[in-house]
């Protein structure tokens, strides 16, 4: 398999660091708008000749197609912020490549009832052309990070092996990570964090379909494993709520994130001041988006590993009736300790936990274990070989 990774930031460079130990690919090119960043990511994989670097503007569809053709690429992994999904997704189709991303195309609020009804949902633009991918016999595997991604694999596993009836699939994410020396330092892309946390959260119910609520709604105290302990989680917009009901028979799907009061207060302040906007403003003769300014003012999450301590937990709480018909609740989860991730690959925990999943998916696709055509989510595939490979990477999941 020949792979093009578009985006050599935290996750893209972590993909290379993790993949270097695997033998399923012939070539992996890391491409970034910054040639220096792509080259630095390749330099960290110990001189492995399978890796290459390239300069690439991810908003330029023609340039993506040209690079894919020049490198004889089989699969394109989109490791960019989701506002770049449309050109990368379209270019992969034109180039005849398998496509993977870790976040789907962006949503747009309902113009009149944003906290009751969805407008354009996450991924709607990709699902709208699913028939074209099916007709071409090509696979677009969307949402294959950790959340969405591994969380969806957990839902599939629970449906196939643990439950006779599922009442709710509830993704719950929490951590006890701390960053020394910073009063406020997000451990993942602030651009994406603002987008998903300040948009109206989605909930799906069988009788009602998809509906929205106010940001940070329905707080609940969730007890996370591995010593993380209780963390208050709130509703956040996320792809699992779009993906899971399409392939998993259940009554309800939710996503809640343990943000913490301080983080929520900062996000609310950004929103109040209009600093969450992705629309450019003219400032002293220069066009600049307020959200890009916020991102530029904060430290790059990929560089925080040496200052971070603690663990991050991603998991899926499934409730319903077990195979014996009795009431059952199971939390399938994956915990990554920052110290262990740094020691293994020089990558901080949140980035490592995200990046390992597309690497596993690419290996399963290369082996023909995961195959299909159209726009599919992770829950459309057999979960067992994925979880087996996760353990093979030295980071197995657990179940409570």
Fold that domain 2-101 belongs to in CATH: Rossmann fold (3.40.50)
51-55 and 27-32 beta bridge pairing? parallel
Alpha-carbon Rg for the chain, nearest whole angstrom, is 20
Asked if the model's pLDDT at residue 105 lies above 90, the reply is yes
Residue whose entry in the numeric block shows the structure tokens 């506002």: 83
Asked if the model's pLDDT at residue 377 lies above 90, the reply is yes
d(CA 213, CA 216): 9
d(CA 205, CA 244): 11
**pLDDT for position 70:** 98
2-101 and 150-349, same CATH topology: no
Helix (H, G, I), strand (E, B) or coil at 381: coil
Q: How wide is the angle at C-alpha 187 spanned by C-alphas 82 and 347, nearest 5°?
A: 95
> What share of the chain in percent tops pLDDT 70?
100
Kindly write down the DSSP assignment for every residue of 113-126, as one continuous string: -TTTSEEEPTTHHH
DSSP state of 149: B
Fold that domain 150-349 belongs to in CATH: Dihydrodipicolinate Reductase; domain 2 (3.30.360)
- Mean pLDDT, the chain, whole residue set: 96
Helix (H, G, I), strand (E, B) or coil at 142: coil
Asked if the model's pLDDT at residue 260 lies above 90, the reply is no
What does residue 313 show for φ and ψ, rounded to 5 degrees? -125, 125
Asked if the model's pLDDT at residue 35 lies above 90, the reply is yes
d(CA 236, CA 193): 10
**pLDDT for position 188:** 83
Average pLDDT of 119-139?
98
| Number of neighbouring beta carbons within 10 Å of residue 64 | 27
d(CA 377, CA 239): 10
- pLDDT, tens digit (0-9, with 9 covering 90-100), for 201-225: 999 999 999 999 999 999 999 999 9
Asked if the model's pLDDT at residue 131 lies above 90, the reply is yes
Q: At what angle do helices 85-95 and 61-70 cross, to 10 degrees?
A: 40
* pLDDT confidence tier of residue 182, bands split at 50, 70 and 90: confident
d(CA 178, CA 297): 19
Whole-prediction pTM = 0.95
Domain range summary for the chain, segments of one domain joined by +: 2-101, 150-349
**pLDDT for position 47:** 86
Q: Where are the beta strands (DSSP E) in 152-283?
A: 163-175, 178-179, 202-205, 209-212, 220-224, 229-235, 252-257, 281-283
Asked if the model's pLDDT at residue 302 lies above 90, the reply is no
Query: How many Cα atoms within 13 Å fall on the side-chain side of residue 44?
Result: 21
Average pLDDT of 217-239?
96
Signed CA dihedral, 288, 289, 292, 296: sign only:
positive
> What share of the chain in percent tops pLDDT 90?
91
Which H or E run contains 77?
A: strand 75-78
- pLDDT, tens digit (0-9, with 9 covering 90-100), for 71-103: 999 999 999 999 999 999 999 999 999 999 999
Helix (H, G, I), strand (E, B) or coil at 186: coil
Asked if 305 contacts 338 with a C-beta cutoff of 8 angstroms, the reply is yes
d(CA 383, CA 399): 14
């Amino acid at each position: 398999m020949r792979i093009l990774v578009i985006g050599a930031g935290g996750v893209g460079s972590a993909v290379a660091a993790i993949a270097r130990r695997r033998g399923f690919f012939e070539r992996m090119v890391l491409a970034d708008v910054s040639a220096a960043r792509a080259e630095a990511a390749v330099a960290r994989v110990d001189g492995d000749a399978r890796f290459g670097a390239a300069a690439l503007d991810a908003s330029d569809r023609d340039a993506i197609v040209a690079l894919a053709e020049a490198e004889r690429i089989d699969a394109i992994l989109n490791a960019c912020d989701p506002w770049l999904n449309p050109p990368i997704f379209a270019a992969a189709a034109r180039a005849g490549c398998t496509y993977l991303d870790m976040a789907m195309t962006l949503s747009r609020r309902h113009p009149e009832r944003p906290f009751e009804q969805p407008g354009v949902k996450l991924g709607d633009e990709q699902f709208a052309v699913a028939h074209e991918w099916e007709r071409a016999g090509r696979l677009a595997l969307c949402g294959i990070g950790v959340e969405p991604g591994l969380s969806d694999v957990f839902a599939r596993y629970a449906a196939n092996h643990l439950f006779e009836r599922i009442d709710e699939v509830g993704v719950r994410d929490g951590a006890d990570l701390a960053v020394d020396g910073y009063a406020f330092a997000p451990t993942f892309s602030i651009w994406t964090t603002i987008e998903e946390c300040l948009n109206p959260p989605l909930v799906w119910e069988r009788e009602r379909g998809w509906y929205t609520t106010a940001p940070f709604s329905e707080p609940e105290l969730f007890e996370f494993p591995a010593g993380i302990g209780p963390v208050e989680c709130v509703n956040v917009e996320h792809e699992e709520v779009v993906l899971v009901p399409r392939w998993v028979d259940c009554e309800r799907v939710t996503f809640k994130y343990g943000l913490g009061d301080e983080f929520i207060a900062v996000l609310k302040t950004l929103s109040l001041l209009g600093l969450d906007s992705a629309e450019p403003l003219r400032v002293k003769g220069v066009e600049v988006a307020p959200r890009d300014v916020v991102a530029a003012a904060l430290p790059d999450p990929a560089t925080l590993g040496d200052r971070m301590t603690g663990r991050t937990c991603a998991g899926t709480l499934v409730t319903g009736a077990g195979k014996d018909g009795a009431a059952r609740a199971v939390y399938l989860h994956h915990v990554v300790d920052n110290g262990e991730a740094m020691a293994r690959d020089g990558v901080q925990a949140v980035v490592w936990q995200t990046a390992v999943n597309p690497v596993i998916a690419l290996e399963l696709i290369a082996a023909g274990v995961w195959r299909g055509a159209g726009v599919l989510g992770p829950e459309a595939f057999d979960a067992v070989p994925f979880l087996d490979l996760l353990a093979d990477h030295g980071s197995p999941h657990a179940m409570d």
